[in-house]
Amino acid sequence: MVNRAKLNYVIDVGLGVSFFLVFITGLVKFPGLVQFFGISRGSLPSLQSSTLHDWSGVVMGLLVLIHLILHWKWIVCMTKSIFSKEKKCES
């Protein structure tokens, strides 16, 4: 059986890394920011950064989906407790 805490940790680290890659490559791809700093578009590896941006976004999306599936019971419980004030949820 998989240790749930370790699985959550691995998923959270993966989300953090993929978010960082998507954020940084998004800044590199953002035309207004590139112009603001006076960087020429030809000096940036646009194809590589675009591919890295796209694949990092796919990985991040999949990890978010897995994260939501793993925490679904807690999400439902919290939603019910917010609207009914009857049931306590475990963290």
- SS3 letters for the chain? CCCHHHHHHHHHHHHHHHHHHHHHHHHHHCHHHHHHCCCCHHHCCHHHHHHHHHHHHHHHHHHHHHHHHHCHHHHHHHHHHHHHCCCCCCC
C-alpha–C-alpha distance, residues 33 and 42, integer Å = 15
pLDDT of 32: 73
Q: Specify the pTM.
A: 0.76
Separation between Cα atoms, residue 17 and residue 66, nearest integer Å: 16
pLDDT tens digits for 67-80?
Answer: 999 999 999 998 88
- The pLDDT of residue 22 is 94
CA dihedral 40, 44, 50, 55 (to 10 degrees): -150
